[in-house]
Amino acid sequence: MKVLMINGSPHLKGSTFCALRDVGERLEAAGIETELMQIGSMDIRGCIACMKCAETGYCIFKDDPVNEGIDKLRAADGLVVGSPVYYAGPNAPVCAFLDRGFFLKSAPYAFKPAASVVSCRRGGASASFDRLNKYFTIARMPIVSSQYWNSVHGNNAEENRQDLEGAQTMRTLGDNMAWLLKCIEAGKQAGINPPAPEKWIATNFIR
């Protein structure tokens, strides 16, 4: 089993990375492989709502990591998205990556456990955490929880290491995700399959 981990911070070894590493180490200890995608310094465009992805399953922009991420997530069993908090929300690369990676193409992600982790200096963590979880709950992805909302405090790795409760929250998240992945696998072996989706009823309240 494999979990894809996305780091939206421009700092390769910053506080967000520390949080993801804490989660990943527990997954690896449970025999689950992890793969880290560092996207925080990349030039990732926003979605232009061209809708072409509805035909192809991929974004028309091929010069950034979004399509690679789509393939990696299709192949993975679980997802953890890490973002630094910028103005009380996930940062721009993370939002652009997820907008384009999820819009009209999230069906293959259904029933893959997902979690978000956020790092802030002081405030805006739970708003950012809520925002990220919205991608998962609209895509039928079970959200993995921890012992607290998944946030850490720190402007850098050194400060992050002082947030002992934050680190524990990350370790617990890793343990919980490993447990859920194994439960899902055991369920599959026992013939318990995910429910078949109903045909989507789309209503737009425009008048």
Ligand X SMILES: Cc1cc2nc3c(=O)[nH]c(=O)nc-3n(C[C@H](O)[C@H](O)[C@H](O)COP(=O)(O)O)c2cc1C
Q: Write down the least CB distance from residue 46 to ligand X, Å.
A: 17
For the record, the structure tokens of 71 come out as 């393939």
Instruction: Looking at residues 39 to 78 of the shown chain, list those that interact with ligand X (rule: CB under 6 A).
Output: none
Alpha-helical runs (H) found in the chain:
15-29, 53-56, 66-75, 92-102, 125-137, 157-160, 164-189
Binding map of ligand X across residues 7-46, x = CB under 6 A, - = no contact: --x-x--xxxx-----------------------------
# residues near ligand X by CB under 6 A: 20
Q: Write down the least CB distance from residue 82 to ligand X, Å.
A: 8
Q: Write down the least CB distance from residue 125 to ligand X, Å.
A: 7
Binding map of ligand X across residues 171-190, x = CB under 6 A, - = no contact: --------------------
User: Which one of 51-59, 96-104, 122-130, 172-180 is the stretch in contact with ligand X (CB under 6 A)?
Assistant: 122-130
Verify binding: residue 121, ligand X, rule CB under 6 A. Answer: yes
Return the axis-axis angle of helices 92-102 and 66-75, rounded to nearest 10°: 60
Q: Which residue has the tokens 């409760």?
A: 165
Closer of 126 and 155 to ligand X (Cβ): 155
Residue nearest to ligand X (CB): 14
Is residue 89 a contact partner of residue 124, using CB atoms and an 8 Å limit? yes
Kindly report each contact of residues 144-149 with a partner whose C-beta sits within 8 Å and lies 24 or more positions away, as own/partner: 144/78, 144/113, 144/114, 144/115, 144/173, 144/176, 144/177, 144/180, 145/115, 145/173, 145/176, 146/115, 146/170, 146/172, 146/173, 146/176, 147/172, 149/125
Number of Cβ within a 10 Å radius of residue 180: 17
Is residue 176 a contact partner of residue 144, using CB atoms and an 8 Å limit? yes
Closer of 31 and 46 to ligand X (Cβ): 46
Q: Which of 126, 145, 156, 168 binds ligand X (CB under 6 A)?
A: 156
Q: Write down the least CB distance from residue 129 to ligand X, Å.
A: 12
Interacting residues toward ligand X by CB under 6 A: 9, 11, 14-17, 84-88, 119-124, 154-156
